[in-house]
Copies of this chain bind each other. A is one copy, B any other.
Amino acid sequence: MHQPEHLKSAGLKSTLPRLKVLDLFENGKERHLSAEDVYKQLLGSGEDVGLATVYRVLTQFEQAGLLVRRHFEGGKSVFELNKGDHHDHIVCLQCGHVEEFHDKAIEARQEKVATGLGFAIRDHSLQIYADCTKKKCPHKR
């Protein structure tokens, strides 16, 4: 599996559920997963974890800076690996796939607008909800 250094440095013991969750994000197919997604995938792999543990681990990883929590529509929190870079998201309304993008011009304008209104940006979140224009949505679930 993987080295538990990340966990160590975060003051977290290297346990099976934690290693498995980390592995899912590092080597899984989807980069953006909800607690339910993680839980189901672990059960599917024959792991015997509780949903509560998944929630606890995800929250701990978020606080440790290993994961980032996103608030898309739909009431569920979605997590992804914290790669250190900032990016925004475009969510396909047809299949739910999440694509990432970064646009310097948008960031610059945000800075300008905020400054103009007398604010100092600390963080921001931008999601675009869209339909895929290709004949077949390439990201069917």
Residues of A within 8 A of B (CB): 71-73, 75, 90, 92-93, 99, 101, 103, 105-106, 109-110, 113-114, 117-134
Bound-state CA distance A71–B114 (Å) is 20
Judge whether A130 and B125 touch: CB under 8 Å. Answer: no
Judge whether A117 and B90 touch: CB under 8 Å. Answer: yes
Q: List 21 A-B contacts (CB under 8 A).
A: A71-B72, A73-B125, A75-B75, A90-B113, A99-B119, A103-B110, A105-B105, A106-B109, A106-B110, A106-B113, A109-B109, A118-B133, A118-B134, A119-B128, A119-B131, A120-B131, A120-B132, A120-B133, A121-B129, A122-B131, A124-B128
